[in-house]
Structure 1
């Protein structure tokens, strides 16, 4: 006579989830930390934006009114001085040396340079049209980089160029900062970026932001 043995079933144990449920307080702390990080980042970019804008605005004011810093008193643009003549006529190295000498003191060069300083300065300080400001500012910095030509170890007359880095100088830094501000949309915090974006033509054409 065969005896059939039925295996005894042990009471089952609930499987524990490998992922621990987050408590409401932990989730709240995570959200708070993320918010604080984003806020700090926004303030950092806003501070960088204001400082950069002031650099361009101050250059415009000093060259226009001859405040006695880079531009001597009485030799400002309003006094009949040329904002480009001193710098461009002093170019002593690089592939565009002769071209810059021809541009030095030209009326169109003075106006383009000064309008560039003013436009970039106002846009960056106010936090509006940052993409256009980045484009114009980068073009301006590129031309000034070529004028100083950091890769050269010697000037055209053979004298040491005193270049400290063959590639990266303050013009490159300013250009990168302008691009970073535009990419980050840094005009909202401490700026008029939010209002600017609501203007119909700006809303319809993102490249104007």
Structure 2
């Protein structure tokens, strides 16, 4: 014989009382926001340096606007390990250059502005994992390097809603399309 619990037929509503934010919670929000902005800047800087050849990693003569390829040097000369042939074959291809650069700019802007952090976290995580696979095994560890760690940090940013502190995430979330499609947050 099966026992069945009796359920109320009318919905009940609970009154929610806002719980004040603790100092540690507030500090954590700001730490995550700072990490979000910092990671966003690393993507944006890579985009700017490769586009304009600002001389940090990309000389002006190799800038994308001067006909250089943002993927050729690293993928053609730096790839090693099980995916070496794949990366050598796409090194310098226009489609790879465009996808890489659009990814850098889009992920960087989203993270710095605090909008579309979920999308930026997923696409940034994919980009980080792909960059990790370019050189396997990593130089300083048999498996783990900063690319995988940063992919995990991006997941954390999305999970804690890091775009709402020091960012435009609250305003972004109020847009009708974002309300309909929460994955855009």
TM over 0.5: yes
Cα distance in 2, alignment partners of residues 110 and 181 from structure 1: 27
| 3-state secondary structure, aligned to 1:187 | helix
Cα distance in 2, alignment partners of residues 97 and 120 from structure 1: 25
Give the CA deviation at 1:35: 2.2
Give the CA deviation at 1:168: 1.4
- 4+ runs deviating over 4 angstroms: none
Question: Is residue 200 from structure 1 mapped to residue 172 from structure 2 by the alignment?
Answer: no
Cα distance in 1, alignment partners of residues 168 and 105 from structure 2: 17
User: Number of paired residues?
Assistant: 167
TM-score normalized by structure 1?
A: 0.77
Give the CA deviation at 1:37: 1.5
Q: Which residue pairs with 1:180 in the alignment?
A: 156
Q: Which residue pairs with 2:61 in the alignment?
A: 74
| 3-state secondary structure, aligned to 1:74 | helix
TM-score normalized by structure 2?
A: 0.86
| 3-state secondary structure, aligned to 1:201 | helix
Give the CA deviation at 1:204: 1.2
Q: Which residue pairs with 1:12 in the alignment?
A: none
> RMSD value over aligned CA atoms?
1.3
Gaps spanning 5+ residues in structure 1: where? 1-30, 152-162
Cα distance in 2, alignment partners of residues 182 and 35 from structure 1: 21
Question: Is residue 190 from structure 1 mapped to residue 166 from structure 2 by the alignment?
Answer: yes
Gaps spanning 5+ residues in structure 2: where? 1-18
Q: Compare CA radii of gyration and give the structure with the larger one.
A: 1
Cα distance in 2, alignment partners of residues 56 and 40 from structure 1: 25
